[in-house]
A and B are shown apart, each in its own frame.
Chain A
Amino acid sequence: MTDATLLARIQFAFTVSFHIIFPTISIGLALYLAVFEGLWLKTKDAVYLQIYKFWLNIFAMAFGVGVVTGIVLSFEFGLGFAKFAKLAGPIIGPMIGLEVLTSFFLEAGFLGIMLFGLNRVGPRLHFFATCMVVLGTVLSASWILSANSWMQTPDGVAWENGRLVVTDWWRVVVNPSWLIRLPHMLSAAYLTGSFLVAGVGAWYLLKQKHLTFARRTVSLGLAIGSVLIAGQVFIGDILYGTMLKYQPPKMQAAEGVWETQSVSAAPYLWVIIPDQKNQRNLFEFGTPRLGSIWLTHSLDGRVAGLKNTPVPDQPLMGMAFYGFRVMYVIAIAMFALAAASLWLRWRGKLFSTRWFLISLTLMTPSGILATLAGWYLAETGRQPYVIYGLLHTADAVSPVPAGTLLTSLIAFIVIYSIFFTAFLVFVIRAIRRGPNELVDVRAPSGSLKRALRPSIMASTLGKKPI
């Protein structure tokens, strides 16, 4: 691998990893915002509006960073991977084009109304705007997951004079892994939202602050989160089977096993130090027999290892393994907390059990970490291909010198560090400050007529969220 290839890959990995944090937050929070606003409209209880406004502020920041780091990606296909763009542009280009048309514009068009329009258009139309933003985030995830899934499990194309031509768009869009990877990602984002919302509430309960706000958010976040994590375990299991079928090397690497076939019942490995060059583990630690039970559903089933794949076609085991393990361990922790929450709720101690609230607070960013880890499994496990089975990553790189790539990589790291620091500082500050005091809000009377009446302009007043 040349320096330029390595640098182009590091730059893409860095910018895409940084980016995915923010859509994960904004997809997750968007749904919660719609739920909170819907509850406010239905119950007329101002606490829900207070919750809505508190999370809207954080949503707006995450959305902003997500937008500007997302633009970078749509150009980076060409900046860093021109040969990929040339070959795959005719396939993923139209899909991302439809993403821009059906989703980005929808989000952008209604975001302004969502953030600044409550007094101008009235609550009902404002709720509609919130729902349109939610729809936009779902459509965006659908298209981009479709494009990415096509790169994982390409279908519906044929080679023609050295270029890929679409023979069946249906099979391109609904490729073999999309219909399971999309719900996997969406519930990951909604779990992220659940633990953010519940985690912040739990912290307030520990601090004995903003109690009504905190109880509502902890209760709702855990209720939705519990349903989601149960579903996610199920979805994850199906996806495991799908990827095992279409990308065996990825799942072989994800289990940390080298031997073509384990000699006896396989342990389930938790920690390994892989030695890719000599095709073995320098150290491994696992639970005996658990690997056979989980992976083959029998007490002494044999587990297939990465040596089944020729060395040049192998992904790096360490990346895929730890991507999978981090995601998996967090999922187990989420499941445990969700189970505990059901028990505590039944006993009426959900808001007063200290160890539980501390755990929940610590789990606040867990969804983000699990999502990031899952993407590391998906993307590094696909290597050495950028389009699985069709194009090697090393053959996809742009004719840009290594020095230029290094300079831009450093620039990205510097600027993105500023973004990240500012985001963290402002979010933590907003959480410490807590929600604004309850205020009387004009009764819902919103309609299109209200939005179109010029007198609204004069009466628009309010405070900025300073």
Chain B
Amino acid sequence: MDLPVLSALFLTGALCLYVMLDGFDLGVGALLLLEPDERHRDRMVDAITPTWDGNETWLIMAGVAMLAGFPTAYSVLLPAFYVPLIVMLLSLGLRGVSFEFRYQTVKARPRWDAAFAVGSILAAFSQGAFVGGLIIGVAVDKGVFAGGTFDWLAPFSILFGFASLTGYSVLGAGWLHLKSEGKTKIYAERCLRWITPIFLLLSSATCFAAYQIQPQVAEVWSHHVVSLLALAAIFLLMGLAITLRAHPSSFFFDAEPFVGGLIMFACALVGLVLTFAPNIVPFRISIWDAASPTASQVFLLVGVLFVAPVVIGYSAFSYWVFRGKTPKEGWGE
């Protein structure tokens, strides 16, 4: 079996899980900024508090899987995206400590909520800017990053940053719709109604721009016309459905917009994978050229084979324990 392909599949899986799971956490965080009522903000944070840590762990998993399986790519991409990654790490830090610290204080809670929201927004934005930069391209010379600190910075990566911010917000609002009742739920519906069309607009613009600025994208897409069009069609239909149905008591199930958002993200992620594969540094270094020696691949993959099912098992159990509507009084001690 082709080990680098398996490692790449695991890496992709971890990244996709991260984007979808922490995506809604970051989205809820971003939406805190627009909610003036502190009690409602408490409900919003409660909706993600018990499970956010596990969600974020998928990011570490993806980073470390790249270090273990594709050290060449890791050593090229991290210096190339030094600035957006540092911004992301510090923002995730701000967001993460705010979970704990906001409960410690009543007086300063609005300030920690602001830190929470700003951290979430910047993290979401920098992750988008990272992918935007990947599409713009990374300068590589003999397996080493050979570009400048701000090569990633361009109108396109900024556009991508906003697209991912609005996308995460759609996921976040969908999650809130699932987990909340009353005014918070109405607020979630309002967010869905307004942000989903913006997300559709920005992501369409991103696709057109990518096609224009990166000839390799145009080249790759010409090989996958049918599948990409199908993905785009599902994506657009889901987005339109969420937008049009986001009114009080018009959804059949509370989970509807969240599932719709996840489907949208799944389409977008599959599209990205089709665009980048089989390269790990897009358009430059393939997974086989970046792969670590066989012994390293085997060690990691055997670990994954035995441990990952257990991980998914108890992570699911944790979601199950905290299922249903978030209690109005919080989770208690």
Tell me the A residues contacting B by CB distance below 8 Å.
53, 56, 60-61, 64-65, 67-72, 74-75, 77-79, 82-83, 85-94, 96-102, 104-113, 115-121, 160, 163, 165-167, 169, 398-401, 404, 408, 411-412, 415, 419, 422-423, 426, 429-430, 451-452, 454, 457, 460-466
Bound CA span A70–B314, Å: 22
Are A64 and B330 interface neighbours, CB within 8 A? no
Bound CA span A96–B77, Å: 19
Residue of A nearest to B332 (CB): A462
User: Of A102, A112, A160, which one neighbours B51 at CB under 8 angstroms?
Assistant: A112
How many residues belonging to B are interface residues under a CB distance threshold of 8 Å?
A: 75
Known: A118-B333, A457-B324. A86 touches B65 (CB 8 A): no
Bound CA span A455–B143, Å: 58
Are A97 and B303 interface neighbours, CB within 8 A? yes
Known: A89-B67, A463-B333, A464-B330. A105 touches B325 (CB 8 A): no
Chain B residue numbers with a CB within 8 Å of A399 are: 79, 144-146
Residue of A nearest to B294 (CB): A165
Bound CA span A259–B300, Å: 47
Are A82 and B64 interface neighbours, CB within 8 A? no
B93 within 8 A of A: yes
Bound CA span A112–B49, Å: 8
Which DSSP category, helix, strand, loop or mixed, fits chain A's interface? helix
Are A116 and B331 interface neighbours, CB within 8 A? yes
Measured between C-beta atoms, what is the minimum distance from A246 to chain B in Å? 23
B222 within 8 A of A: no
Are B332 and A97 interface neighbours, CB within 8 A? no
B82 within 8 A of A: yes
Residue from A56, A90, A92, A116 whose CB has the most chain B CB atoms within 10 Å:
A90
Measured between C-beta atoms, what is the minimum distance from B246 to chain A in Å? 26
User: Of B61, B92, B104, B323, which one neighbours A61 at CB under 8 angstroms?
Assistant: B104
Measured between C-beta atoms, what is the minimum distance from B89 to chain A in Å? 5
Bound CA span A375–B216, Å: 48
Are B93 and A68 interface neighbours, CB within 8 A? yes
Chain B residue numbers with a CB within 8 Å of A452 are: 320
Chain B residue numbers with a CB within 8 Å of A112 are: 49-51, 53-54, 318, 321-322
Known: A79-B82, A115-B50, A460-B327. A422 touches B101 (CB 8 A): yes
Bound CA span A372–B298, Å: 35
Chain A residue numbers with a CB within 8 Å of B94 are: 415
Report B63-106 residues with CB < 8 Å from chain A CB.
63-65, 67-69, 71-72, 74-79, 82-83, 85-86, 89-90, 92-97, 99-101, 103-106
Are A93 and B86 interface neighbours, CB within 8 A? no
